[in-house]
Amino acid sequence: MEDMPWWETYFDDLYLELCQQLAALDRESSRQQAEAAMLMARLISPAQLLDLCCGYGRHTIPLAQMGFVVTGLDYSGGMLARAREDTAQSGVDVEFHQSDMRELPWVEVFDGCVMLGGYFGIFEEEVENEQVFRAVAAALKPGGRFVLDAANRDRIVCRYVPQRWQERGGLLRCVEYRFDPVTGVNHARERWLRDGEWTERTHHMRLYTATELDAMLRRAGLTYCLLRRLRSG
C-alpha cells in the first residue's frame, strides 16, 4: 500500500497548534501582504477573489475586510474550521470550500486569484503542479489577475541553509533540509520538542526557477508573470 501524500495529513490540528505556539499570528504583516497583492493585481473592491490554499484565513480575512468578495479554498478541514471561527469573530463574510486545488469547481467566476504563503510545488509530478495553473486560468474571468507567492529556486540554492532552529515558549523546532538538484525537490525533516517529547514530520516541495514558472504559467494561459517580493527574508 502506497503512502499517502504528505500534504494530506500534514496540515492537521497538531500542526496548527504547534505553529501558533511557535510564532504568534502577525495580523499586521498579513494585512500588508494582502494589500500588496491587490496593488500588484490592480484590483479594487468589491472584486471577486479566490484565496487558494487559504489555510486558517491569514490573508482571506484582511482581503474581506478590504471590501473584496472572497472565497477561500483549502484541502485541510481542520485549517478551514479555524478559518471559519476567526472569520466569524472578525465580522466579515467569506465563503470557504474544502477541495483539491488541481480541480477547482468554477469557470470564469473570479476577477482575481491569490496564492500566498509559498505553497506552490507540493505535488510530486510537475504536470500536477501545472494543473493548478490551468485550474486557476479556468476559474478566472477574461482578463482576471493571478498573484502567486512562490519560492525561487535560484535564491534558495544560492543561500542554502541545511538546518534551522527556532524556539519560543518552551517549544523547540529543528528543520533539516536536503535539496535534490536533479529533481528540484527540497526535502525537509521537522522535529518538534515540547514537554520533553519529540514529534517528527517530513515534507517536500518542488522548487522552480522564475524561467520555469513563467513557462508553466504561459502554457496554462496566464500570459504575464509579474515577479516581485511580497515580504522580506
The whole-number pLDDT of residue 230 equals: 47
Same domain, 47 and 139: yes
Determine contact, residues 191/169, Cβ cutoff 8 Å: no
- Asked whether residue 77 is domain-assigned, the answer is yes
pLDDT of residue 231 exceeding 60: no
Whether 39 and 111 map to the same domain: the answer is yes
Instruction: Give the single-character DSSP code of 160.
Output: -
pLDDT at 29: 83
Q: Mind listing the pLDDT tens digit for each residue in 109-159?
A: 999 999 998 889 999 889 999 999 999 999 999 999 999 999 899 999 999
Phi/psi region, residue 55 (left: phi>0; alpha: psi -120 to 50; beta: rest), is left
Cα distance from N-terminal residue to C-terminal residue, the chain: 40
What is the CATH number for 13?
A: 3.40.50.150
Spatial contact of 186 and 179, defined as CB atoms under 8 Å apart: yes
The model's pLDDT over 53-85, given as tens digits with 9 standing for 90+, comes to 999 899 999 999 999 999 999 999 988 999 999
Query: Would you state the pLDDT for residue 225?
Result: 56
178, part of any domain: yes
Residues 6+ apart with CB under 8 A from 10: 201, 203
Stretch 14-18: mean pLDDT: 75
Number of structural domains, the chain? Answer: 2
Residues 89 and 109 in one domain: yes
232: in domain: no
The answer to whether residue 72 sits within a structural domain is yes
Whether residues 64 and 159 fall in one domain: no
Report the pLDDT averaged over residues 196-207.
91
Shared domain check, 191 and 90: no
Do 93 and 53 lie in a common domain?
Answer: yes
Asked whether residue 133 is domain-assigned, the answer is yes
232-160-216 Cα angle (round to 5): 75
**How far apart are alpha carbons 88 and 84 in whole angstroms?**
6
**Contact by Cβ (8 Å): 37, 70:** no
Looking at per-residue pLDDT, the higher value among 96 and 14 belongs to: 96
DSSP 3-state assignment of 179? strand
Tell me phi and psi for residue 20, to 5 degrees: -65, -35
The answer to whether residue 1 sits within a structural domain is: no
> Residue 180's domain spans which residues?
154-204
78 shares a domain with 171: no
Tell whether 89 and 184 lie within a shared domain.
no
The pTM assigned to this predicted structure is 0.88
Q: How far is the C-alpha of 198 from the C-alpha of 176, rounded, in Å?
A: 15
Q: Which residues of 109-139 are buried (b: 16+ CB within 10 A; e: fewer)?
A: bbbbbbbbbbbbbbbeeeeebbbbbbbbbeb
* 194 and 215 part of one domain: no
Residues 124 and 161 reside in one and the same domain: no
* pLDDT greater than 90 at residue 205: yes
Give me the phi and psi of 107, to 5 degrees please: -130, 120
Residue (of 141, 122, 233, 142) closest to 185 by Cα position? 122
Residue whose entry in the numeric block shows the C-alpha cell 500542526:
15
Q: State whether 82 and 185 are in the same domain.
A: no
Q: What is the mean pLDDT of residues 92-115?
A: 96
Q: Which of 56, 78, 71 is nearest to 8 (CA)?
A: 78
Residue 51 domain-assigned (yes or no): yes
Question: Is residue 225 domain-resident?
Answer: no
Q: Are residues 94 and 179 in the same domain?
A: no
Q: Which pLDDT does position 20 carry in this prediction?
A: 64
